[in-house]
Amino acid sequence: MKGGKPLTSTRPRMGPRRITGIETEYGCLVDPPLQVSEVIRAVRDWIFQEQRFGLIDLHDRDWDEPAGNGGFLFNGGRVYLDMGHLEYCTPECATVRDVLRFDRAGDLLLNQALGALGLLGRVTFVRNNIDHYTGATFGCHENYSLLRSAPLTSKNVLSLLAFLTLRGLLCGAGRVGSSQAPRLRQDAGRRAEEHPFQISQRADYIQNDFFEWVQHNRAIINTRDEPLADPRLYRRLHLIHGDTNVLPASLFLKVGTTRLMFDLLEEDDLPALALQDPVGAFRQLSRILRPPWPVRLADGAMGDAIEILSQYRSRAVRRFEGRDEETDAILGLWGRVLSELGSDPSRLVGVVDWVTKEHLLRIFSEGEGVDWGDPWLEAQDLEYHSVDPDRCLGLALADLGGMWVSDQLPEACISPPGDTRAGARSALMRRIAKGPGGYVLDWDSVQWDGEERTYLLDPFDSTARGREGTRRPGEF
C-alpha cells in the first residue's frame, strides 16, 4: 500500500473466525471526600505511568478525546475517559473464550490500580448500566466483524433484529425499578409505570430499531459503517442495547449466540422471522419475569419468545453443531437456558444474571422487610456488579463448571491474543516503548517518528511484518 506497510496474510481459513470486542463503561462509587472525576483520572494515570500497561495517546483523537485522555494497552485493548466514566475496551478477539478472558482482565486492571493507589475499600468500580439516583445510563458496547459480502437483505436484517430483541431473556443483567425514556414527543414528562424489577438494564433507554448515534436516539442495531479494517472486506456491527454481564456463563451465552447469528447471516440461513415492534417488545419482555413471554410478529400473529429463540438455535445446531468445542459448548448452554426459562427459571441461578440477581434481591427484601423501591435494595443491586471479587454478590453464586471460566487473567493484562492483529499492534508498541520519539496509535494503524505508517487492515493477522497485497473475502 502506498505510503505505508499493510499487514496482510494469505493463510487459508481454518474453521469459522470472527473478530469480537467489548467496550465496558464502569460506574464508580467513592467515599467522601473523594471525587469520581479525580479518582478515574488517577486510575488512568497509574495504568499508563512509565508505560506500566500501555502507551498514552500523544495526539487528539477527537474533540472529546484530547491527547492524554487515554491510550492503548500492551494487551491490545484500550483505556480512556468517556463522558465522566472510565472505559475499557478488550483487544480484538477471535474466540468467545478470549472475549471473556480479556473482558475480565479489565476488572483486574482496575482493582490493581485501586490497590496501588491505596483506594481499596474507599472506591468501588461497578460493571452495570444505570445510575439509580440520576436515571442516567452508560453502556456495554459489542463489536463484531462481518464480511462486507454478507447478504444484508430485508429478510435477514429483520430476522437479526428479532433475535437481538429477544436475546435479553438469555443474558439481561436485571435491575431494580424503571426509568423509561419517552419514545414520542407527546410522552415527554409522562411518568413511567413503576416496575419493581426488570430483566434488562438498557430496555428503558432504547428508542429505535436502527440508528447511527450511540448517545441519543439509541437503537438496537447501530448503523454506523466504521469497519476499522479493510472496508472492502469487512463491516463492523456495533451493538449498544445489551447489558454488562457479571456472570461468566451469561457473557459466554450473549457473545456466543450472537456470533452464531452472524455465522447464519453470512450463510444466508437466518429463519424468516420479524417482530411488529421490536423496541416495544424489548421493553415489554423486560417486565415479565416468568413464562410465557408473548410477542407480536410482523404479520400480526402472536408468538412465544422462547419458542422463537428455539428456532434460531435449531438453525444453528443444524449448521454448526460439531464444528468445534466452543460452538458445541455455546449450543449446549443455549439449549439448557431455553429449557429452564420455559419451565423453572430459578434453576438458572448462577448462570443467567437477571435470574440470579432477582433471586438474591428477593431473599434480601423478604429477610429485611423492605420493599422493591427501597434505596437499600438499589444499593444491593449495585453490589451485584462490583468488580471486587470479595464484594461482588453475583460472582459469589457463579456457575464455574463450563468453558466460560477464565484463567491466566494477570497474563491477559499485559499480553494480547495470539491470533488477531492485537498481537501486531502490541509488538509495535513494545518497540516504540524502547526509544524516544512521537507516535500515533489506532486500531487499524501504527506510526512513530522516522517510520512509515503500518496499516493493520487484516484483523486476523497477528504478525508485525508487512506483506504486499490484500486478502480476498473468503481467504480467512
Reference 424, options 99, 92, 101; nearest CA is 92
Q: Coil, helix or strand for 83? A: coil
Contact partners, residue 7, CB within 8 Å, separation at least 6: 421, 424, 454, 455, 456, 457, 458, 461, 463, 464, 465, 466, 467
444 neighbors 457 (Cβ within 8 angstroms): yes
**419 included as an active-site residue:** no
Helices (H) and strands (E) in the chain, counts: 12, 18
377, 370 contact by CB (below 8 A): yes
Among candidate residues 242, 262, 256, 249, the one with its CA nearest the CA of residue 104: 249
The H or E element spanning position 103 is: helix 96-116
Dig out the grid coordinates for 398 from the structure: 457463579
Helix (H) or strand (E) holding 295: strand 294-296
Are the CB atoms for 441 and 72 separated by under 8 Å?
yes
Which residue spans within 129-281 are E strands per DSSP?
140-147, 175-176, 197-198, 208-211, 219-222, 234-239
Strand bridging mode 54-56 / 78-82: unpaired
Radius of gyration over every alpha carbon of the chain, rounded to an integer in angstroms: 22
Tallying the residues shown for the chain, one arrives at: 476
Taken in order 48, 54, 56, 60, is the CA torsion positive or negative?
negative
Catalytic residue among 45, 82, 328, 419: 82
Query: Quick check: 163 and 65 in contact, CB under 8 A?
Result: no
Q: Closest Cα to residue 433, out of 8, 71, 69, 65?
A: 71
Q: Which of 285, 279, 284, 327 is nearest to 309 (CA)?
A: 285
Residue with cell 422471522: 273
CA distance 386 to 394: 8
DSSP string over 116-152: HTT-BTTEEEE--SB-TTT--B--EEEEEEEETTS--
Residues labelled catalytic: 82
